[in-house]
Chain A
Amino acid sequence: MIGEGLSRTDGPLKVSGRARYSAERREMGEPLHGFILGAAIGKGRVVSIDTSRAEAMPGVQLVLTHLNAPPQAEVIPKSDILDVQPQLTTDVIAHYGAPVAFVVADTFEQARAAAALIDIGYEVVAGEFVLDENSAAPEWHDESRLGDLDAAMAAGAATIDAVYATPYHFSQPMELHACIADWRNGHLTLHIAAQMVAQLADAVADTILIDRSCITVDSSFVGGGFGAKIALHAEAILSALATRQLNRPVQLVLTRRQGFTIAGHRPASISRVRLAATREGQLTGIGHDANIQVSPEGNWKEGVATVARALYAAPNRLTRTRHSELDTGVCEPVRGPGEVPGLMVFESALDELAEKLGIDPLELRIRNDTAIDPEKHRPLSGRRLVECLREGAARFGWDQRPKTPASRRDGRWLIGYGVGSSIRGHYQTTAEARVRLDPDGQVIVQTDMTDIGTGTYTIAAQVAAAALGVPVGQVRVELARSNLPRGNGAGGSWGSGNTSVAIDRACQALREKLGRVAGTGYNDLFAEVRRHFPTGIEAVGSTRGMDDEPSYENFSIFTYGATFTEVGVDIMTGETRIRRMLGVFSAGRILNAKTARSQLLGGMIWGISAALHEAAHVDPRNGAWVNGDFAEYLVPTHADVPQIEAIALDDFDGAANHLGSKGIGELGSGGTAGSVANAVYNATGVRVRDFPITISKLLPGLPKI
């Protein structure tokens, strides 16, 4: 039952519109509507603000600015993404689009129209908006050094020393950031699109200075998260402040454009990758220096330089990061944090090395496999990278790869193949789940884990059904409310692992409780429940944080993958199109083959996007996001994703947990992006080191006409 490709149990609700997303909830009655006015400058101060015209507009109920916003917690500079996030408490503008006023009116249109009539005087301060070699502070951070990389570079039979750039990315889930806040009888309920409800409830309570017991967060249905719905943003705080002041529910939905200024981004990065190898293709040195944008407002650091620490063997290693503090806004986790930019560039560099050595890039990866974590010197559990590479190569027909770049044509298309390896750490955090057996024959699973489109409702039911030996249809799953047993939500690819283990343990505890009074020979679970526990029986299962799990000390626990891509590049126009793609992954035991495949495919498409399409551009004059909508911020359309397939190897990683399951949400993306870049090189002989790979970057290297 675990692993079966069961269709989503919440699928019928979703396709029939009965699943109510946050902004569709109406049990509190018709809410008022809010609109945030964002700063029109990139850095500076509000020197004057006149809200009188806005306040006089029809339907307007409230206008908040830094002059009248209710007291909140002190701002924490360089805050964690789930620290307090006070709103409108200062005249200082730290980035373009940061909230400067909030209007609540009877309708959304009224609120937006009124916001446009707020007159603001700014004092503009020169900001830093450009990431380049000069923007980084000199200090190195997060350094890991083994052996002597410089010596390895000097002695290497072949070396690569190349600089790569990756742009800003935004998660931009299809469902906009949305919250309905409802203050009623001294209790605040937030219906909000969130990935981690308990942590969000803590942060909201601390921000607006109410007791934690006075808040409930509900994220029953979330239309995609990709990291963007982990952090606490203005929509939660401003709607909460307004409902408390007005005693009416307040809905606040960020516009798509505000998703670029009020939610955070993946920072841009500049990487210098150094590789040294013997003539036979044994890596002797691995170096990755990253220069990443960081924000004075938040402390999220993209782990660009760290992705190869356990990927390949090499005795001499140096990976480290410098910080460019820019005024381009807050950095947040975006799907594939670290891996997307990091693996995209590292796997490109490895491809460059293979070319120099004259070794097949697949073979080069296989030759540098390692069973031991090269930096932590402990076994890599479930290390099956080579199997992913070999299985993928066989299925894809890698032996048909053009051996020489720019050597294969199909009409006007230059054809190329590329491979990229993926690796992603598996994490475990504390989590709890409660399972209840009702005497009427229903199993009720409760945890605050969210289902952000990933399939939690379904796999939670599968795990409980398997553990209790009941049909899935007998299990009711209740998720994503902060008054349910606490976990760590959906994020970091840990949600399904945590949740499943906690549910399974709760079920085992139930069986033990029942066994003590009913023995083990019973045939009818619920008959025994009715006989011995006429009001029902429940138990709680939990996971510990990985720091408290010996297995996570004894092993380095990762997931692995290999993506194979065939691209065509138009020899005349430089347009790149994916022709086919295959990913093979090793990620422990798969909990649901259907939802897992869906996640892996989604991750691979995310990788296509990073390699070919996605980039948010900052205007260097004022820090504004120039292409802040879906017409200009390109992600793949259906037509850009032809035949792709994802395969998960049969696997079980007992080092991760007793179910053998590991996370898959991020895994598909990073190596896939690298495989696309490498396929473009194989097709054209042009190596673009500034992502994404676009027409204007390829054209100069294509054959002259």
Chain B
Amino acid sequence: MKSFTYERANTAAEAVAAVAAMPGAKFIAGGTNLLDLMKLGIEAPVHLVDINRLGLDAIEPTEAGGLRIGAMVRNTDLAADARVRRDYAVLSRALLAGASGQLRNKATTGGNLLQRTRCAYFYNTDMPCNKRSPGSGCAAVGGLSHNHAVMGVSDACIATHPSDMAVALRALDATVEVISAKGSMRMIPIADFHRLPGDTPHLETNLQANEMVTAVILPRPVGGTHIYRKVRERASYAFANIAVAMIVREGKAARLALGGVAHKPWRVEAAEDAPAEGIADIVLAGARPTADNAYKLDLTRRTIAACLGDAS
């Protein structure tokens, strides 16, 4: 691990200013992903700004009838919140399908959005990775890609985004509130928050330099039956082979987003409210699997059908 310095910020404005003041500085919240990556030398910040004491840990109703979730709300607390469980059950279920109890106790809402891919080649610093080292190539292409992306892939990167929470937020049309280094706030729709890899897979979000997530805003509840179906090889602590977030209303998939298939939470608006038998074809149009992960297409088809079956 490269040596680094550390400071604790007390306000959001202080935090962004501190990161902006030092090139190579990073925010640290729960640290459940960043610390692992630092130990492996994949992340090497020169300075850490601890944002755990900023507050930003409340879940509050908004005037629009939704919820404002502070960026520092722990995954455990968010999943357990009575309003979330009642009105946004897909979010609670997605959170509880992720990681382990211990990790969820530490992991934050903002950090969860910003976690990095679990692509094994991203983790192996002996091998090329365009995310880790732009321009070095992608070892996953032509490597073992059983759990890699099938949608929105590029020749430069076939990694997936590992978050469960973000898939549910995508289905719920959440908005991400961020603060800039100058202290100004802006809102980024979740659809625009994460990026597809293209030829710049090291750029994973549309956050600008030194911007920090301060909250996630949920719109008014949309009702319906909320399903989060994470398909995985073991019952706990495993990344999704695929995951489906679905809100069913009147027998139709009114909202549909997928995890484990793309570089970002993969919502397919065109498939929403489509007749059941047509949904998967719309979802899978344009899929580009490898030989290793072609099974994900059939799995997606089957899991969507299973979710619709569960809701009926």
Contact = CB atoms under 8 A, between A and B. Distances in A.
10 contacts: A40-B126, A109-B3, A573-B303, A577-B235, A617-B144, A621-B143, A626-B124, A634-B238, A695-B231, A699-B298
A154 interface: no
Contacts of A628: 120, 124
Contact of A705 (B2, B238, B302): B302
Nearest to B147: A632
Given A624-B126, A699-B295, A572 B302 contact: yes
Interface of B: 1-3, 41, 118, 120-121, 123-124, 126-127, 139, 142-144, 146, 229, 231-239, 241, 295, 298-299, 301-303, 305-306, 309
B144 A619 contact: yes
A626 B235 contact: no
A116 interface: yes
Contacts of A612: 233-234
Contacts of B127: 619, 622, 624
A275 to B, nearest CB: 30
B96 to A, nearest CB: 12
A696 interface: yes
B233 A695 contact: yes
B143 A575 contact: no
A627 B238 CA distance: 13
Contact of A574 (B144, B146, B236, B299): B299
Given A40-B126, A626-B143, A695 B234 contact: no
B232 A575 contact: yes
A637 to B, nearest CB: 4
Given A634-B238, A695-B295, A624 B124 contact: yes
Chain A interface residue count: which class?
Answer: 35 or more
A116 B41 contact: yes
A174 interface: no
Interface of A: 40-41, 96, 109, 112-113, 116, 412, 570, 572-575, 577, 612-613, 617, 619, 621-622, 624, 626-629, 631-632, 634, 636-640, 694-696, 699-700, 702, 705
Nearest to A257: B40
Contact of B302 (A112, A621, A699): A699
Contact of B1 (A40, A113, A705): A113
Nearest to B99: A631
Given A570-B306, A617-B144, A619-B127, 19 more contacts: A40-B126, A113-B1, A412-B306, A572-B302, A572-B303, A575-B232, A619-B143, A621-B143, A626-B143, A639-B234, A639-B235, A639-B236, A695-B295, A696-B146, A696-B299, A699-B298, A699-B299, A700-B298, A705-B301
A378 to B, nearest CB: 43
A570 B301 CA distance: 14
B237 A626 contact: no
A93 B124 CA distance: 18
Given A109-B1, A112-B1, A695-B241, A573 B306 contact: yes
B123 A634 contact: no
A109 B2 CA distance: 8
Contacts of A109: 1, 3
A640 to B, nearest CB: 5
Q: Which of B121, B142, B302 has the most CB of A within 10 A?
A: B302
A253 B123 CA distance: 20
A640 B299 CA distance: 21
Contact of A637 (B139, B237, B306): B237
A613 B299 contact: no
A574 B233 CA distance: 9
Nearest to B121: A626
A572 B306 contact: yes
A575 to B, nearest CB: 6
Given A412-B306, A573-B299, A637 B123 contact: no
Contacts of B301: 705
A294 to B, nearest CB: 23
Contact of B118 (A574, A619, A632, A695): A632
B242 to A, nearest CB: 9
A96 B124 CA distance: 12
A113 B4 CA distance: 12
Contacts of A705: 301-302, 305
B120 to A, nearest CB: 5
Contacts of B299: 573-574, 695-696, 699
Contacts of A617: 144
B234 A631 contact: no
Contacts of B235: 577, 637, 639-640
A638 B144 contact: no
Contact of A627 (B1, B120, B229, B231): B120
